[in-house]
């Protein structure tokens, strides 16, 4: 390639670079969501108003016998209050229900805030019952699954789960 001079300035040939649509999507997602642990920032544009979120969580918690502060702590740790949150693993909505869990708890639309929190608090209630109201184990099972908690007879040794449990319990105690 020859570089021609125009007006005393060297001309650098422009190369056409083909970028796949998936690369554009990845770049866009990185730009939009940054480095947030949850993938979404709390009270981002898609998030519910705090009073509305509190009302939804309070109603579902009361119906399902789960402390509202615990359900709120899980919601904030899971989605930052964003009802349209999707994790890389496929968990969806405010309480980041996996598709199988959503089906088990009859959540037809995991992006419907009321349905998601209803299903998530029922699941949390069942985990609390399973672990004798041990909040630490229930929260660990919510993150890593009951099989992992049962297998390790406690909090699994996964760094992500240990950090999650600490984060949720700290928030739970502060509500």
Q: Which one from 52, 78, 118, 160 is the annotated catalytic residue?
A: 78
Spatial separation of the C-alpha atoms in residues 47 and 38, rounded to whole Å:
13
Give catalytic status of residue 59 as yes or no: no
Q: Provide the angle, in degrees to the nearest 10, between the axes of the packed helices 68-79 and 135-144.
A: 30
Where helices occur in 2-134 by DSSP H, the ranges are 21-33, 50-64, 68-79, 99-104, 113-130
Nearest to 37 by CA among 98, 89, 99, 80: 80
Given a contact cutoff of 8 angstroms between Cβ atoms, the answer to whether 73 and 132 are in contact is no
The CA radius of gyration of the chain, in Å to the nearest whole number, is: 22
Q: State the distance between the two ends of the chain, measured CA to CA, in whole angstroms.
A: 66
Give the residue numbers marked as catalytic. 78
């Amino acid at each position: 390639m020859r570089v021609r001079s125009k007006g005393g300035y060297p001309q650098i040939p422009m190369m056409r670079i083909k970028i796949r649509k998936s690369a554009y999507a990845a770049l866009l997602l990185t730009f939009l969501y940054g480095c947030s642990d949850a993938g979404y920032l709390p009270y981002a544009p898609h998030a519910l108003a705090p009073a509305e979120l509190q009302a939804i969580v309070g109603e579902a918690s009361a119906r399902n016998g789960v402390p509202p502060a615990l359900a709120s702590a899980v919601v904030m740790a899971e989605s930052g209050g964003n009802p349209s949150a999707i994790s890389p693993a496929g968990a969806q909505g405010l309480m980041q229900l996996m598709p199988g869990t959503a089906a088990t708890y009859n959540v037809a639309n995991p992006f419907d805030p009321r349905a998601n929190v209803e299903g998530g608090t029922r699941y949390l209630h069942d985990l609390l019952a399973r672990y004798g109201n041990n909040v630490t184990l229930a929260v660990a099972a919510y993150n890593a699954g009951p099989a992992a908690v049962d297998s390790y007879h406690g909090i699994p040794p996964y760094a992500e789960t240990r950090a999650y449990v600490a984060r949720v319990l700290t928030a739970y105690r502060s509500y």
